[in-house]
Amino acid sequence: MRIPRAVVFVSRFITIGLALAFIVLYFYPSLRPASTPAVVEIHETANGNPGAPRQAPVLSYADAVARATPAVVNVYTRKIIRREFNPLLDDPFFRRFFGAPDVPRERLETSLGSGVIFSDQGYIITNDHVIEGADAVEVALRDGRTVEATIVGRDPETDLAVLKIELDDLPAITLGDSEALRVGDVVLAIGNPFGVGQTVTSGIVSATGRTMLGINTFENFIQTDAAINPGNSGGALISANGDLIGINTAIFSRSGGSQGIGFAIPVALVKEIMTQIIEHGKVIRGWLGIAVQDLDPELAESFGLPTNRGVVVSNIVRGGPAAEAGLRRGDVITHVNGEEVTDARKALDLITRARPGETIDITAIRGGREVELKAKVLQRPLMK
């Protein structure tokens, strides 16, 4: 059957037209008619962060607790409080008319805290305020053994103290890496709150590097919401693996109990302080004899400085190393030994890190000009 020429012609015309239309719409999509928006399908990870490592759910921290608790001890102190005795009590005339009141001249005061066995040699770390002023210190281990402890040394400026006991087969704790802590990490606090016996509480790391709290001279706290109560001081803050990452030290509380804001000294600082106490009986730090304050924007503007990084020398000890080096009140210290001074805490850290007898370089701004000074560091006296 033959197809008429007219039909063939129309078919070819339609085919060519469709081809031309396809080409035009392909290269000029704006000419396409508007349509309803398409539904876009996306895929998200369960935790909302594709880059975060997946962790298996933990149903119990019993293994971590079992690793750490044998090394956490109870610390009991005894202190004899001597009262002032009124000489009138020995006067015969007074005793004749008023009698002889029974006023004890001495009384025994006891307190409790916690500690952590750092080594099987018998060294124990605790808080300085736990054993401050104690006439006798007794340590009770979890296995039931009790023993008198000797005080190796104290460092009130970090609120740490080292004790030593003489026992065999001591369970030393495993140290963790406090520098690797992240906000949100699970932590467990172990201690002897209120004297009820060894107790474990859980929480997370709320913050790291907390300073300017007015608790210690040198502050670099781990903040946690794990319950820390009186008696927990000197106890262990451990990771979910049972490694020591901090020493529980203080709480923020309006009632005296835990309100979810506790502070622990990082184990990195604890190791440094403990090593010095064991080697020297005390912590040796450098001292320049100056008081400094942070350089806020207003002070920076008044000194004509382009930045507020640095510290202002607010006071100088007469005859001290800084005075001998030529440092003056009002000088703005910007660098110590070539390292930038960002705030008062950084300045204190750089100065105290220097060994007594060492000469350090100080860069300061005075009257808009940079001056270079050299100061011979002395040993920092005990501040409290």
Q: Are 367 and 330 contacting, i.e. CB atoms less than 8 angstroms apart?
A: no
Contacts of 170 (CB under 8 A, 6+ apart): 117, 119, 120, 121, 122
> Per the structure block, which two tokens stand in for 316?
């100088």
Phi, psi (rounded to 5 degrees) for 77: -120, 150
Contacts of 36 (CB under 8 A, 6+ apart): none
Q: For residues 360 and 171, give the distance between their C-alpha atoms in angstroms, rounded to a whole number.
A: 43
Q: Are 216 and 250 contacting, i.e. CB atoms less than 8 angstroms apart?
A: no
Count CB neighbours of 301 within 10 A: 11
Q: What angle do CA 342, 347, 350 make, to 5 degrees?
A: 115
**Distance linking the first and last C-alpha atoms of the chain:** 117
Which among 247, 284, 244 has a CA at the least distance from the CA of 264?
A: 247
Q: For residues 183 and 166, give the distance between their C-alpha atoms in angstroms, rounded to a whole number.
A: 38
Residues with a known catalytic role: 129, 159, 233
Q: How far, CA to CA in Å, does 343 sit from each of 220, 221, 378?
A: 14, 17, 22
Burial class (CB in 10 A: 0-12, 13-18, 19+), 125: buried
